[in-house]
Structure 1
Amino acid sequence: MLTAVEQQQLFVQWNDTQADYPQDLCIHQLFEEQCLSTTRCESQSYLKSTVNLSTVEYPS
C-alpha cells in the first residue's frame, strides 16, 4: 500500500506533464519536428546495430 505522500507523488507530481505546443500542427508534424531536431539521438538498438533518426526518410 502507498502512503498518502507516495500517492500524491505518483499520481499528481510525476503525472504533471502538461506542456505548451503549437496548436497549428498535427501530431505527425510535431513528431517529425522533434525527430529532425534530435537526429543524433539513438532511437533503436538491437545487438550491435543502432539506428538514429537521421537515417529515417520523411516524405516531402
Structure 2
Amino acid sequence: NKDDVQPDSNQTQTRTQVGAQLDVEEILLSRGLFRSRSLALCNLLESCPPLQNSLQPPSLLK
C-alpha cells in the first residue's frame, strides 16, 4: 500500500511545483520582468544575442 501511495504524492507534488512555477511566471510577466526568459527562448532559436547581453533588447525588436 505504501508503494501505491508514494507515486500519487509525487505526482501531486510535481503538479504543485508546476502550478507554482506558472504563477511565478505570470507575476514576472505582469511586472515586465519576463525579458530574460524571452531572450533565453530567442537564444534557443538563434535569433537573439547571447544571454550575456540580456540587458539589451532582442534583435528582433530593433
Structure 1 and Structure 2 fold alike (TM over 0.5): no
TM-score (norm 1): 0.39
- Answer 1 or 2: which has greater helix percent: 2
TM-score (norm 2): 0.39
